[in-house]
Structure 1
Amino acid sequence: MIRHFWLLSVSVVAFSAFACELRAAEPAVAAEPTPVLREWEQLKYGLFIHFGMSTFVVDEYGRKPAKSTDYAPTDLDVNQWAETAKQAGMKYMVLTVKHCYGHALWPSTHSDFTVATSGNKTDVVKQFVEACRTHDLKPGFYYLLGWDSWHMPKMTPEQYEKFVHDQVTELLTQYGPITVLWFDIPWDMGRDMRGALARLYAHCKSLQPDCLVMLNQGFVDGSFVEKRIPSYFGKNLTETPEAIWPKDLNNGERVVPPPAGHNPRIAFEGKTYYIPNEVCDSIGQRRWFWGEDDDVRPARQMFELHSQSVGRGSNFLLNAWPDKTGQIPPETVKRLLEIRQLIDHPERVRDSLLVGRPATASNVYHGEIAKWGPDRAIDMDITLDAGTRWATDEEVKTAWLEVDLGGPKTFNRATLSEFLDRVRAFKLEVPDGRGGWKAVHRGSTIGGPGIDVTFDPVTADRIRLAITDSTGGPTIWDFAIYPADGE
């Protein structure tokens, strides 16, 4: 009993000392651009690597049972990730060192749920940083704060905060200089969320002053400091939102900056700070982690996302997932290189003839034309945002979308992508000169990743996408047509 009391006393004293250290923390976010921030802004394009337990359990949110040994890459090649990033024209990489399962990709001494107890004991973090340095890429770590399904249910918010600090200490003292620490779900740190984030920021800066701190705000454009209701392991603890603050970098998860561009001078609580922005998105249609039923999105979509991010003053962090072997699949590598070709040679990208043209449709979801009208499918806004698609009522099985081209245009190529993968047959039609329509292309499925089709050049003043069979109300992300060569 005396021994147990002594251990408890030591634990209380240790935690009290930690708490005193935390209360003394003071954030110091830059009011003007620093050399470190300027260097980060010049990186512009990076590779996001989602890899870990979720790759093997095929669940991104830690809901399925998992054992440490479930993580077992069969042919891990971290150098291949870096080679791919370099060939794709990227300047930095960010690796998910801990995600929703709480499984660490390094042998952390503060947890029993790490690569050290897994089916492949490689210190992935160590190899990742070494590969980055070999290929002249800046290394960054993604670290999940909230929704940690392994550790949070076993700890109080105070204990979990200390655990986070202990793991961050390992990451920032054992692997050399790190460019960015990318924290996800920051609002899930307990009732004292704001205080916890301030203490975490100060802790990171005490270990590596030049390591930039990113707090993910979610699906916003990065132009402000968002507020969220503090929670712990997904359970709201108050009714009063708190600011996700402090941080060096803002982000937009699958949301690009406004057309005027990102303004890094952000006002917050009576002061103005210099906070650059980053847009992150995934090359996969459905997931951040690899899954057999996911597909890579078209190169043109990713090029547009890059253009709308970098061209509007933000960095662009594009996610590509290694599979269960531990390597990025060949088709994904191929797509990344295709994207680079478009970035390096934008003159090869032809503008869609449909942008800005009047469009009509046979049906619009609940009649809400402003939100789900046909113009939402032809605007070339390719972010995965529910407001940028043409949607129809659930019971609809056939539908059409027609666009007035404003006069005769000659074209021979179209791209399409859809949400929910419902289309089973469609036609591209032009007027037949007798008051009807004739098909210039017939197809079956469209799918989320989209399709790129060519046909004999045709001249017309209108075009119609006619969906002739669908398992439910069709909903189209994007519809574009392109002029024939020489036009």
Structure 2
Amino acid sequence: MIDFLREAANVAPSKRQLAWFDRKFYAFIHFGVNTFTDREWGDGTEPESIFNPEKLDCRQWARALSGAGMKGMILTAKHHDGFCLWPSRYTEHSVKNCPVKRDVVGEAAQACREAGIGFGVYLSPWDRNSAYYGTPEYNDYYCNQLEELLTQYGELFCVWLDGACGEGPNGKKQEYDFQRYIRLVRKHQPNAVIFFDRGPDVRWCGNEAGNARASEWAVVPGELCWYGDVQTGPGPLAQEGDLSYLYNTDSNVGGLSNILYSKGLTFVPSEINTSIRRGWFWHKEEEPKSLEKLFRIYISSVGGNACLNLNIPPNRDGLLDERDVARLKELRELLDREFGQALEATVEKRDTGHPMQPEYMITLAQPTSRIKYVELMEDISVGQRVEGFRIEAVFSSGGQFPFFQGTTIGNRKICALADPFAEQNRLLDENKVKIDKLLVKITAARGEVSLKHIAVM
């Protein structure tokens, strides 16, 4: 068990995963024929003429996202209905045959570049319009479309795949060649993370409500992630010896891939994806989620060793709904107010004689009774290791007591000690007890602990 935990402590992310973590918060854009049919899933029979966003302005999308502090946009280039938001050479079911003959993917990519945010694409493997679906030829069709997106629109930060798989016109379900899809992405967009339900770079959190786990690990058993057929063993990628596709290790790691393969461990962090509204596509009667709900989702995702992918659906004009834009503005203002400026403090790492249980003394420049958050970050470039920690208050009047206890830290942990939506907060605030120092104690870890950032707000 000790050897296993030691190996688990050294399972490290790839460079693309570290870059993904740095984005923290980005947007989904669900847009297509469903926007005009008032549906969530189309059936592929929608006429191209129905897609007619006369005021389409992708720059408006990008400005709103950037203004909200988001660092990327992932556009549904093709949803399950098979309608393509770019003029694909391989189908007539696309923007080239609609009244507004505009390459929405191209315009969105350019808008993101101008706004200084990343661009990514969603390409559903399920295509309810294609006659190839349910046949071996469909994988060729899908790869042709995927290659168009990978080669025509500049650098992508994410390629988002969906696991939906329904019956085709011949009554058969498609057997997706995900290994082929992954090779194609790695070939043309080596810096892009690939999202799928189980990885290989980023995995699904398991729900669409924005609910994160209380303890989120990025290092998980391979059986929980994608690595070929988990029932029969690794797929052809492993047989070819190229485990970097499966275990997300950089080529200069040396023999680590073989260790990971033999032990079945992999670094695959979680994405929290949810919509600002009840549905994923725009529906006139729907209202955006409350500011309180969005704030709590942010704390548990971005502040819980994950990233937040918040869907903002354009309306039938091709613009983001002003109600959603206003809510994004409110969210940005709240985040700036709560996390915009850390308290002045010094941090001293104290040697406890146990490298897996260090302590960090935070000395505040000015004693205060109003501490809202403590932000902790591990140096995950060497692995995720902390299993348990405690934060204690040290008072100027003498004495101390614990007021936060947590488990995992990972890339970023926001420890909320106060609630901006509560009428009353901590007893400390009510009694105006001054805190001089905070003591962060690591109580359990898989290996030697290294916190790279501690901040108090």
TM class, shorter-chain normalised? 0.5 to 0.7
SS at match of 1:198: helix
For the 8 Å contact 2:220–2:268, the answer to whether it is kept is: yes
Name 2:191's counterpart in structure 1. 210
For the 8 Å contact 2:287–2:323, the answer to whether it is kept is no
Deviation at 1:336, TM superposition (A): 0.6
Match of 1:89 in 2: 69
Which protein is bigger by CA-based radius of gyration?
A: 1
Corresponding residue for residue 129 of structure 2: 150
Aligned residues: 293
**1:338 aligned partner:** 330
1:481 Cα deviation (Å)?
A: 6.3
Counterpart contact for 1:60–1:100, Cα < 8 Å: no
> RMSD across aligned C-alpha pairs, in angstroms?
2.4
1:58, CA displacement in angstroms?
1.2
**1:170 corresponding residue in structure 2:** 148
Match of 1:274 among 267, 280, 289: 267
> Given the alignment of the two structures, is residue 247 of structure 1 paired with residue 226 of structure 2, yes or no?
no
CA 49–192 in structure 1, closer or farther in 2 if over 3 Å, else same: closer
- Gaps (5+ residues) in structure 1? 1-29, 218-224, 226-245, 349-479
The one-character-per-residue Cα deviations of 1:140-163 (angstroms, maximum 9, x if unpaired) are: 1011112x2211x55333121111
**In the alignment, is the contact (CA less than 8 A) between 1:49 and 1:322 conserved in 2?**
yes
In the TM superposition, residue 211 of structure 1 has moved relative to its aligned partner by: 1.9
Q: Larger relative CO (CA 8 A, sep 6+): 1 or 2?
A: 2
Measure how far apart 1:119 and its partner are. Answer: 1.7
After TM superposition, list the pairs within 5 Å mapping 1:315-394 onto structure 2.
315-346=307-338
Call closer, same or farther: CA 1:304–1:172 in 2, change over 3 Å: same
Taking structure 2 as the reference length, what is the TM-score of the superposition?
0.60
Asked if residue 297 in structure 1 is aligned to residue 276 in structure 2, the reply is no
Q: Distance in 1 between matches of 2:174 and 2:267?
A: 25
Matched, 1:141 2:134: no
One of 97, 100, 114 as aligned partner of 1:117 = 97
1:131 and 2:111 are equivalent in the alignment:
yes
Distance 1:156 1:177 in 2: 31
In structure 2, the CA distance between the partners of 1:155 and 1:50, relative to structure 1 (3 Å rule), is closer
Aligned residue number for residue 307 of structure 1 = 299
Q: Conserved in 1, the CA contact under 8 Å of 2:125 and 2:162?
A: yes
Structure 1 CA distance, aligned partners of 2:288 and 2:81? 25
User: Pick from 69, 72, 87: which aligns with 1:107?
Assistant: 87
**Inter-partner Cα distance in structure 2 for 1:305 and 1:139:** 23
Corresponding residue SS for 1:157: coil
Number of the residue aligned with 1:263? 217
- CA shift, 1:65, in A, is 4.5
CA contact (8 A) 2:302 2:308 kept: yes
Q: Is 1:57 paired with 2:49?
A: no
Letter in 1 for 2:274: D
**Paired residue for 2:157?**
179
Offset, 1:185: 2.3
What percent identity do the matched residue pairs reach?
28
Give the residue type in structure 2 aligned to 1:144: S
Question: 5+ residue gaps in structure 2?
Answer: 1-9, 224-262, 341-420, 431-457
Q: Deviations over 1:199-256 (max 9, x none)?
A: 21112112222221111x3xxxxxxx4xxxxxxxxxxxxxxxxxxxx62111223343
Aligned equivalent of 1:160: 138
**DSSP 3-state at the match of 2:274:** strand
Tell me, yes or no, if structure 1 residue 198 matches structure 2 residue 179: yes
CA distances 1:161-201 after superposition (whole Å, capped 9, x unpaired): 111100000001111111110011255597784x7111211
Give the deviation of 1:346 after TM superposition. Answer: 2.5
